A = this chain, B = another copy of it.
């Protein structure tokens, strides 16, 4: 029996899973806190070593990692939340330690790849994947290949300016989509409204509202919370219309925790996208769909990446 290992590097957890060749349900899985005794890459190596199959053959390892990195060489330029990794040759380190080929790619790229190969994007050639959570990540499939650009830095769809005078983004620039429509932005907008004394059930919470709190209040009919989601949805819908003009995809896949808010986000998003697209031709045969792989998209994408070693 042949196997692949996949890992997903997060700011809080290092997750890994062992897969039989051709399968996407893991044989076993395990996680360990990212922070703890030892450097993160040593903890990751140990995690992968524990999951390694005791019999059969390990063909390779795929790793989903946040932040700018070189998907060709597996060098991580700068991983958010992992300050130890600056120009760190993660693929080479793990490959030497484990004795098998290791492929590393951006986590949102790999979630897109996972959805394309095994999830909501199967059978399509042109795909957009957006994950809306703390930030806004994205991955794009063009002509059955991940869009990486010259140095692996492409597909950062959360970092286009949608409100030139808007709030500053996590990246330091002003008015990006991520700065007005991420979970962080939704929570910040709610906190600002409460600080201005706006009337809302959110004022009764014993803590500053999270995006999930705002979503629950919106679903329960709270006017402020509904307005905040309507505005975030409109920003996302207008940006998506632009992405349709740029990529003309067959399928747009939405993942991430904020999408769990449901209709209070998705209705204004879809209405605005349809209203702002410049020709109905972009909407013909377009599928707008939630992600199918959930939290495992990164792991499944990492497996897809190492399985398609030669083609991606």
Contacts and interface: CB of A to CB of B under 8 A. Distances in A.
Which secondary structure dominates chain A's binding surface? loop
B126 A246 contact: no
Interface stretch (A1-9, A145-153, A207-215, A218-226): A145-153
A159 B154 CA distance: 19
Contacts of A216: none
A143 interface: yes
A109 to B, nearest CB: 12
B246 A150 contact: no
B164 A162 contact: yes
B147 A281 contact: no
Contact of A126 (B143, B150, B161, B285): B150
A180 to B, nearest CB: 11
A85 interface: no
A173 interface: yes
Interface residues of A, number: 46
A296 interface: no
A155 B246 contact: yes
B247 A279 contact: no
A242 B164 CA distance: 12
Contacts of A250: 150
Contacts of A149: 126, 142, 247-249
A150 B125 contact: yes
A35 B52 CA distance: 71
Interface of A: 68, 77, 125-126, 142-143, 145, 147-157, 159-164, 169, 171-173, 238-239, 241-242, 245-250, 276-279, 281-282, 284-285
Contact of A156 (B153, B163, B245, B285): B245
Contacts of A126: 149-150, 154
Contact of A279 (B153, B276, B279): B153
B173 A278 contact: yes
A159 B278 contact: yes
Contacts of A276: 161, 173
A49 to B, nearest CB: 32
A151 B77 contact: no
Contacts of A248: 148-154
B159 A245 contact: yes
Given A149-B247, A151-B281, A161-B162, 15 more contacts: A77-B281, A126-B149, A151-B248, A151-B285, A153-B282, A154-B248, A156-B246, A157-B246, A159-B245, A160-B160, A160-B242, A160-B246, A161-B238, A164-B238, A173-B278
